[in-house]
Amino acid sequence: MSRPGVSLLVCTHNGASRLRPTLAHLAAQRVAPTLPWEVVVVDNASTDDTAAVARAAWPEPAPAPLRVVTEPRLGIGHARLRALETATYDVVGFVDDDNWLAPDWVQLAWETMQAHPEIGACGSFGEAAFGDGERPAWFDANAAAYAVGAQVRAGEVTPDALWAAALVVRRSAWQDLRAAGFEPVLVGRRGRLLSAGEDSELCFALTQAGWRLAYEPRLRYRHAIPPARLTWAYIRTLHYGFGIASVAMDHYYMAAESRSSVRHRLLELWSWRVLASAVRLMGHALRAILGPERSREALRACIQRGRLRALMGECGEYRDRTRRAREVVRRLAGRRR
């Protein structure tokens, strides 16, 4: 059983050059003296001096305890699982090593989760910090790919999913998922491999178990984005990773739907999915050629290329993976509150 309080979970791979400002923002948190909190840095298979930098960067006297733990399996999803297992307190915050939390973030996260016990996870509002880099002309249209901006569309209250940057998670809700036998399939970014989807998978599992997702725009952070990540080649690679992850999420979404419709039976066919992605890829690619340079259509084509790669990797296994996803959904539904 987790104790009342807040655990900030900083997962990092070779983050020595990024950790100091991130930890400085955590050390500047304005937290009520009665609220216990901690910082857990998860060193995810780093080959630099990440652990030493984390310990040296934390001030003395410390505003809260800081621990460094190691996760040897490369992948942000593996690191977050390790962090969740290690956390002391029931309210946990996922802090990427380039997320700079506003000074009231810890206190507000605690108050939000205390006021709404039905919430399993709550998202924050992200702002971009460009440093010396220029803001690309295409950035605003694609800010969500960088976990920047609002997480609900105009007029919406409840989000369908939340990104993991500055995400608040109720640890007891996570333990609820584990009790149902939930084992994540997606592990997210692995070193320089821009995989994705582990946050969508977690949000899906929480909602299937009866927990509610929320978005609190008063929870704010800045995402420090270096120039190397503000190139068109980088964002194309991001979208390619989104496409790969989307195939794994398809299995969950199909498992949660009624199986009686003709449409649903078609979607369970691997060949139909491959054909649909191939047709979409050709359409997006053609419109990208005819349209302006660096268009949204070009990014949509990258998503479909990623989907096709993942689908080809599931040849002969597609239906079985949907069956396994259906079993996961069944067990989660059995935990509904």
Whole-number Å distance between alpha carbons of 71 and 98? 19
Same domain, 133 and 179: yes
pLDDT score for 252: 92
| Strands 167-170, 119-129: pairing kind | antiparallel
pLDDT score for 274: 94
Same domain, 194 and 244: no
Average pLDDT of span 261-284: 85
Final residue belonging to a domain, choices 203, 228, 253: 228
Average pLDDT of span 13-41: 96
With H, G, I as helix, E, B as strand and everything else as coil, classify residue 92. Answer: strand
pLDDT score for 127: 96
- Mark out the alpha helices in the chain (DSSP H runs): 19-27, 50-57, 76-86, 105-115, 171-179, 198-208, 232-256, 262-267, 270-290, 296-313, 318-333
CB 332 within 8 A of CB 208: yes
DSSP string for residues in 42-86: EEES-SSSHHHHHHHHS-SS-SS-EEEEEE-S-SHHHHHHHHHHH
pLDDT score for 260: 63
Same domain, 251 and 177: no
Same domain, 213 and 270: no
Average pLDDT of span 241-269: 82
Least confident of 191-195, 265-269, 286-290: 191-195
Which residues are CB-neighbours of 185 under 8 A, at least 6 positions away?
A: 201, 248
Bridge partners, residue 89, by sequence: 3
Please give the C-alpha separations between residue 47 and each of 52, 318, 336, in angstroms, as whole numbers.
Answer: 12, 36, 42
Same domain, 214 and 301: no
Q: Is the peptide bond before 103 cis (omega within 30 degrees of 0)?
A: no
Q: What is the pTM (predicted TM-score) of this model?
A: 0.92
CB 235 within 8 A of CB 284: no
Please give the C-alpha separations between residue 273 and each of 54, 156, 171, 212, 322, in angstroms, as whole numbers.
Answer: 45, 30, 36, 30, 13
Query: 143 exposed, middle or buried (CB, 10 Å; 0-12, 13-18, 19+)?
Result: middle
Final residue belonging to a domain, choices 200, 228, 256: 228
Q: Does the structure show a pLDDT above 70 at 337?
A: no
CB 147 within 8 A of CB 76: no
What is the pLDDT confidence band of residue 189, given thresholds at 50, 70 and 90? Answer: confident
pLDDT score for 256: 87
Q: What is the DSSP letter of 8?
A: E
Tokens of 168: 């608040």
pLDDT digits (tens, 9 = 90+) for 281-324: 999 999 999 887 778 999 999 999 999 999 999 988 898 998 99
Final residue belonging to a domain, choices 196, 228, 260: 228
Of 229 and 266, the one with more pLDDT: 229
Same domain, 191 and 49: yes
Same domain, 183 and 246: no
Whole-number Å distance between alpha carbons of 92 and 105? 12
DSSP string for residues in 244-288: HHHHHHHHHHHHHS-S-SHHHHHHT-HHHHHHHHHHHHHHHHHHH
Half-sphere exposure of 295 (CA within 13 A, CB side): 13
Same domain, 223 and 273: no
Which residues span the domain enclosing 247? 235-333
pLDDT digits (tens, 9 = 90+) for 134-172: 789 999 999 999 999 999 875 566 788 999 999 999 999
Whole-number Å distance between alpha carbons of 246 and 216? 26
Same domain, 304 and 326: yes
pLDDT score for 281: 95
Same domain, 209 and 278: no
Q: Domain total for the chain?
A: 2
Question: What is the share, in percent, of the chain residues with pLDDT greater than 90?
Answer: 77
Same domain, 23 and 112: yes
Q: Residues, the chain, total?
A: 337
pLDDT score for 259: 65
Q: What is the DSSP letter of 150?
A: -
The mean predicted confidence, pLDDT, of the chain is: 91
Q: Does the structure show a pLDDT above 70 at 133?
A: no
